[in-house]
Structure 1
Amino acid sequence: MTAPIAFRERLYVPWWGWPLPLGAAVLLAAEIHMGFPGVRSWLPYLITVPLVALLIVRMGSAKVEVSGGELRVGSAHVPLELLGEVEVFDAKHKRQAMGPNLDPMAFVTHRGWVGPMVRVELRDPADPTPYWLFSVRSAEKLAAVLRDR
């Protein structure tokens, strides 16, 4: 039996983040094709363009989820009972949170194309991480779920 999901959000690369890397893949394939005339003309395109698309999807996405008594951000997870204060930063104030106010021991999952961020304090004496700071589009909704646990 699966645990009920209180919150779930997947952060993907927006449409405007795709043209530049895909264009670079096409140019790389054209360079390979021109440099090695014996190679089939379609082979470099068949390899580089899907490979870059796969890299964009895999490296550019992150899942934020609250389910089964845990908060999951990417591949990291922490039990909800170890969480403390929850703070939401809008796009204007995340610069302070990510810059001079950032603790070097913090767990950070930042996506530049997502405006809001959430900082969740950790209350685990065995863990040196003071807090998690991560991007999420529905920051207020997630904060409400974490506060009402």
Structure 2
Amino acid sequence: MPEYREKLWPTPWIYLSSLLLVPASILVLAPVSMPAGIATGVVLYLGVIGALSLTAPVVEVAGGRLRAGRAEIELSHTGEAVAFDPAAARVQRGTGLDARAFLVIRGWIGPVVRIPVVDEADPTPYWLVSTRRPKELAAAINGSRRPE
């Protein structure tokens, strides 16, 4: 049983704003064929929504491991996780970002958790992971860490 699990689904406004693909397709294809414009818009909308939903990464803490998207790390190789609210997270994703960091961030999720990597063989200084519940994720990581 995972100690923490979250799927980083797109927010509702992403689904709503993607609906603009339908009228845009109609405008482009209306001179050729109105039904083709409608069909193309619907197919594009469903494709975008399907891609966003199917590729939404999972963040999970279980069995002494952190999984973020396709990547995993033993929690014994991590330091103290720190949660950042949306305002502080903006700095972490922007001017405070190390180019070597491993990122699993989504623009529609404000808060992030920074997880230092203490394994000297790993060139990655830290992981930066988006989450809607930063304090819970940081607590799950910090509570599950086992020193080597």
Q: In the TM superposition, what whole-angstrom CA distance separates every residue of 1:3-39 from its partner, at most 9, and x where no partner exists? A: x21100111111111222222244225533542x497
Determine which structure has the larger strand proportion and give its number.
1
Q: In the TM superposition, what whole-angstrom CA distance separates every residue of 1:75-115 from its partner, at most 9, and x where no partner exists? A: 11111111112111111111221222211100112222222
Structure 1: unaligned runs, 5 residues or longer: none
Rounded to whole Å, the distance in 2 between the matches of 1:6 and 1:146 is 9
Is the 2:111–2:134 contact (alpha carbons within 8 Å) kept by the matching residues of 1? yes
> Which residue does 2:44 correspond to in 1?
48
TM-score, length basis structure 1:
0.83
Q: Which range moves more in the overlay, 110-119 or 70-79?
A: 110-119
1:127 is the counterpart of 2:117: no
What CA RMSD, in Å, does the superposition of the two structures yield over aligned residues? Answer: 2.2
Structure 1 residue ranges, 4+ long, deviating more than 6 angstroms after superposition: none
1:70-81 pair list within 5 angstroms: 70-81=65-76
TM-score, length basis structure 2:
0.83
- Alignment counterpart, residue 16 of structure 1, candidates 9, 13, 23: 13
Letter matched to residue 146 of structure 1:
I
> Which residue does 1:95 correspond to in 2?
90
- Give the total of aligned pairs: 144
Is the 2:25–2:37 contact (alpha carbons within 8 Å) kept by the matching residues of 1? no
- Alignment counterpart, residue 66 of structure 1, candidates 61, 67, 84: 61
Percent of aligned pairs with the same amino acid: 33
User: How many Å apart are 1:124 and its aligned residue?
Assistant: 1.8
Closer, same or farther: CA 24–141 of 1 in aligned 2, 3 Å:
same
Structure 2: unaligned runs, 5 residues or longer: none
Please state whether the residue corresponding to 1:66 is helix, strand or coil: strand
